Amino acid sequence: MVRLSRAEARERNRRALIEAAAQELSERGYAAARLEDIASQAEVTTGSIYSIFGSKLNLVVAAMAHLAHDLYGQMAPELGAGDDLTVEQVLRSCARRIQHLASTPQARRYMHLELELASLALADKDAFAQAGEAVVDPPQDLAATIAALLTGRRLAEDSQVRTTPEQAADLAPAVHALLLGLFQARVLHGEDASAEYYERAAVALLGMLHT
């Protein structure tokens, strides 16, 4: 059996606590979640939570970042480097991917915890801002990922004109906001919009490239 160093053991415990907290908090909510239960699930002592994170709020913020990191990482479609797609095709791929993820248990857990954190942030903005220091792996910038996917794409099937980085950077935040809004509506309100609806909504933004 390999013996972990102190730093390795602390990192192992940090990861285990974040994963346990993400599950506990998304199922029971912030107020009802017990640190004792989180520690037990992570196979550490309650004292480890305070020594590693300092507070329950810090642990919650780190757990939220963990869920967001995993979920956002799945939102961008996997496009091969050699795929010579048009901007519209990329937008449709992004839309289908996000529409699919909106129906998963992971999405519901994420949204539940996001609402919990929003409530906590409104109640104590200063404490919430300080809790951000507990985050080690921040969620990826989905808008930046979409911009990268859009850069250098053909504007149409019959065109060899390609998007510039500036055009992609202008379009990506709107695509991100629209698709994430549809994602949230589906998770929170059960609005079962089809993949085709997501695609049409995303493609409607193409007019921004010509303004």
pLDDT mean by block of 10 residues, the chain; 211 residues: 76 90 82 90 92 88 83 82 85 92 84 79 78 68 90 89 93 92 85 86 88 53
Residue environment code for 63-94, b if the CB has 16+ CB neighbours within 10 A, otherwise e: bbbbbbbebbeebbbeeeeeeebbbbbbbbbb
- The predicted pLDDT at position 125 comes to 80
Bridge partners of 154, per DSSP, are 86, 162
Residue environment code for 171-181, b if the CB has 16+ CB neighbours within 10 A, otherwise e: bbeebbebbbe
Question: In whole angstroms, what is the distance from residue 200 CA to residue 196 CA?
Answer: 6
Task: Count CB neighbours of 129 within 10 A.
Answer: 11
- The predicted pLDDT at position 127 comes to 76
- The predicted pLDDT at position 202 comes to 94
- The predicted pLDDT at position 2 comes to 59
- The predicted pLDDT at position 81 comes to 60
Chain position carrying tokens 């099937």: 157
49 and 121 Cβ atoms separated by less than 8 Å? no
User: What's this model's pTM, rounded to 2 decimal places?
Assistant: 0.77
Q: Where are the beta strands (DSSP E) in the chain?
A: none
- The predicted pLDDT at position 136 comes to 65
Tokens of 29: 């909510």
